[in-house]
Structure 1
Amino acid sequence: MAPLPDYRPKQLSVGPLEAEILNIVWELGSVTVKDVHDRILADPNRELAYTSVTTVLRRLTDKGWLKCDKCGRAFFWRPLLTKQQAEVIKAHEQLQRFLAIGNPDIIAAFADSLDEAASTQIQAIAKRIQDARQAREEQ
């Protein structure tokens, strides 16, 4: 199980184009605007201005998802988190929002509506939590 990363972006929410470009950055590792623009335009049904890619990369940098480095005259963007770390952070935030409901009846009604596979998964999660707590107590 991946631990919750120490670093978090300033703003977790990203729009559809931001998410698409973030996925390209994760896939390529370090990118220029041209790298991202070429990747998007590889789909013959897509059109996107080069300046729009620049704007989105800067927005992702401002939100804390990317870091921009200048090398000579070129700018390179790289992710500050791995895709897996981002998924862990987003899952943690969703769980916190769910638990913030605070009403056990609502949460129990939700849990009661789950199918067998989901119920088994929740039981497995509860067991892992219990095991982790027990291991901490034994240290």
Structure 2
Amino acid sequence: MAPLPDYRPKQMSLGPLEAEILNLIWELGSATVKDVHDRILADPNRELAYTSVTTVLRRLTEKGWLACDKKGRAFYWRPLLSKQQAQVIKAHEQLQQFLAVGNPDVVAAFADSLDEVASEKIQAIAKRIQAARQAREEK
């Protein structure tokens, strides 16, 4: 079970271009503006100004998703979280929002409407939660 990361970005919400560029940074590991810009322009149907890429990278840094390092004359952006860590945080937030509904009847009605595969996943999750709690108690 992937643990909830200690680090969280200042702002979770991302626009479509921010999400696209963050995914490129995850793919590349570390990248310059030119690296990202070239990747986007590799699609012949795309147009995007170099300065727009710079702006989005800065915005992602301000939101706490990326760090910027200077190496020589170039600036390299790298992710502060892995893609998996970001997915864990997002799933945790979505679950918290869902449970904040607070009405057990609504949650139960939702669970009742799930297909068999989803119900089996929920049962498997419940078993893992129970096992994790038992392991913590035994320590």
TM-score (norm 1): 0.98
1:38-117 pair list within 5 angstroms:
38-117=38-117
The separation in 1 between residues aligned to 2:105 and 2:79, in whole angstroms, is 41
Match of 2:30 in 1: 30
How many Å apart are 1:72 and its aligned residue? 2.2
Deviation sequence 1:17-41 (CA, Å, 0-9, x none)? 0000000000001100000000000
How many Å apart are 1:73 and its aligned residue? 1.8
Secondary structure of the 1:75 match is: strand
The separation in 2 between residues aligned to 1:71 and 1:60, in whole angstroms, is 19
Poorly superposed stretches of 4+, deviation over 3 Å: none
TM-score (norm 2): 0.98
The separation in 1 between residues aligned to 2:78 and 2:132, in whole angstroms, is 34
Question: Which one-letter code corresponds to 1:122 in the other structure?
Answer: I
Unaligned runs of 5+ in 1: none
Deviation sequence 1:16-66 (CA, Å, 0-9, x none)? 100000000000011000000000000000000000000000000000000
Among all aligned residue pairs of Structure 1 and Structure 2, give the percentage whose two residues are the same amino acid: 86
CA RMSD of aligned residues (A): 0.6
Deviation sequence 1:98-137 (CA, Å, 0-9, x none)? 1111110000000000000000000000011111111111
Unaligned runs of 5+ in 2: none
Secondary structure of the 1:67 match is: strand
Structure 1 position 120 matched with structure 2 position 120: yes
Structure 1 position 132 matched with structure 2 position 125: no
The separation in 2 between residues aligned to 1:57 and 1:48, in whole angstroms, is 13
How many Å apart are 1:70 and its aligned residue? 1.3
Structure 1 position 17 matched with structure 2 position 17: yes
The separation in 2 between residues aligned to 1:45 and 1:67, in whole angstroms, is 30
The separation in 2 between residues aligned to 1:136 and 1:48, in whole angstroms, is 51
- How many residues are treated as equivalent by the alignment? 139
Secondary structure of the 2:94 match is: helix
